[in-house]
Structure 1
Amino acid sequence: MPRPRLPKLIATDLDGTLVRSDDTVSAYTHQVLDRVKAAGVPVVGATGRGPRLRELSQRDLPHADYLVLGGGSHVVDLRGSDSPVTVHDQRLEGPVAAALLDDLSAEVGPLLVMVEGLDHQYAPLWGDLDPDWPWPQRVVAMPRTESLAGPVIKAFARAVDLTSDELLAVAQQVIPPEKASVTQAGLGFVEICPPGADKAAGLAVVVEVLGIDPAEVLVFGDMPNDIPMFGWAGWGAVAMSNAHPSVLTLANEVTLSNDEDGVAVYLDRLFS
Structure 2
Amino acid sequence: MVLPRLVATDLDGTLVRSDGTVSDTTRAVIEALDERGVPVVFVTGRPLRWAEDVFAHVGAHGLAVVSNGALVWDVPRDLPWLERPIPVDVGLAAAERIRAVVPGAAFAVETLAGIALETSFLERYPVPDGSRRGPLPEVYDAPALKLLARHEELAPQEFWDAAEAAVGDLVTITWSSTSTLLEISAAGVTKATTLALLCDRLGIEAGEVIAFGDMPNDLPMLAWAGTSYAMADAHRTVVEAADHVAPGHDDDGVARVLATVFDL
TM-score (structure 1 length as normaliser): 0.89
Instruction: Name 2:149's counterpart in structure 1.
Output: 157
- TM-aligned CA distance change 1:129 to 1:30, over 3 Å: farther
Instruction: Name 1:125's counterpart in structure 2.
Output: 116
- Which of 137, 140, 154 is the matching residue for 2:127? 137
Q: After TM superposition, give the deviation of residue 85 of structure 1 in Å.
A: 4.5
Task: Supply the distance in 1 between the matched residues of 2:183 and 2:28 (Cα, whole angstroms).
Answer: 33
Q: After TM superposition, give the deviation of residue 141 of structure 1 in Å.
A: 1.8
Q: After TM superposition, give the deviation of residue 39 of structure 1 in Å.
A: 2.1
Task: Supply the distance in 2 between the matched residues of 1:125 and 1:57 (Cα, whole angstroms).
Answer: 23
Instruction: Name 1:62's counterpart in structure 2.
Output: 58
Structure 2 counterpart of 1:270, one-letter code: V
Superposed CA offset, 1:230-270 (max 9, x none): 11101x11011111111111010001111111111111111
Superposed CA offset, 1:154-208 (max 9, x none): 111112221122111112211134x211100125200111111100111111111
SS at match of 2:25: helix
What pairs with 1:9-158 in structure 2 (closer than 5 Å)?
9-59=6-56, 61-63=57-59, 65=61, 66-78=63-75, 82-117=76-111, 119-120=112-113, 123-128=114-119, 130-131=121-122, 133-138=123-128, 139-158=131-150
SS at match of 2:117: strand
Task: Supply the distance in 1 between the matched residues of 2:29 and 2:171 (Cα, whole angstroms).
Answer: 37
Q: 1:95·1:148 contact (CA, 8 Å) conserved in 2?
A: no
Instruction: Name 1:239's counterpart in structure 2.
Output: 230
- Which of 177, 186, 191 is the matching residue for 1:199? 191
- Which of 169, 172, 176 is the matching residue for 1:181? 172
Structure 1 counterpart of 2:156, one-letter code: S
Task: Supply the distance in 1 between the matched residues of 2:15 and 2:72 (Cα, whole angstroms).
Answer: 19
Name whichever of 149-158 and 241-250 sits farther off: 149-158
SS at match of 1:140: coil
Q: 2:34·2:60 contact (CA, 8 Å) conserved in 1?
A: no
- TM-aligned CA distance change 1:103 to 1:248, over 3 Å: same
Q: 2:211·2:228 contact (CA, 8 Å) conserved in 1?
A: yes
- Which of 247, 257, 261 is the matching residue for 1:266? 257
User: What is the percent sequence identity of the aligned residues?
Assistant: 35
Name whichever of 165-174 and 14-23 sits farther off: 165-174
Q: After TM superposition, give the deviation of residue 229 of structure 1 in Å.
A: 0.6
SS at match of 1:141: coil
SS at match of 1:247: helix
Q: After TM superposition, give the deviation of residue 50 of structure 1 in Å.
A: 2.1
Name whichever of 245-254 and 184-193 sits farther off: 184-193
Q: 1:37·1:63 contact (CA, 8 Å) conserved in 2?
A: yes
SS at match of 2:132: strand
Task: Supply the distance in 2 between the matched residues of 1:242 and 1:114 (Cα, whole angstroms).
Answer: 29
Structure 1 counterpart of 2:206, one-letter code: P
Alpha-carbon RMSD across the aligned residues, in angstroms, is 1.8
Structure 1 runs not aligned, ≥5 long:
none
Task: Supply the distance in 2 between the matched residues of 1:144 and 1:105 (Cα, whole angstroms).
Answer: 12
Structure 1 counterpart of 2:13, one-letter code: G
Task: Supply the distance in 2 between the matched residues of 1:136 and 1:187 (Cα, whole angstroms).
Answer: 17
- Which of 202, 208, 224 is the matching residue for 1:210? 202
Q: 1:44·1:64 contact (CA, 8 Å) conserved in 2?
A: no
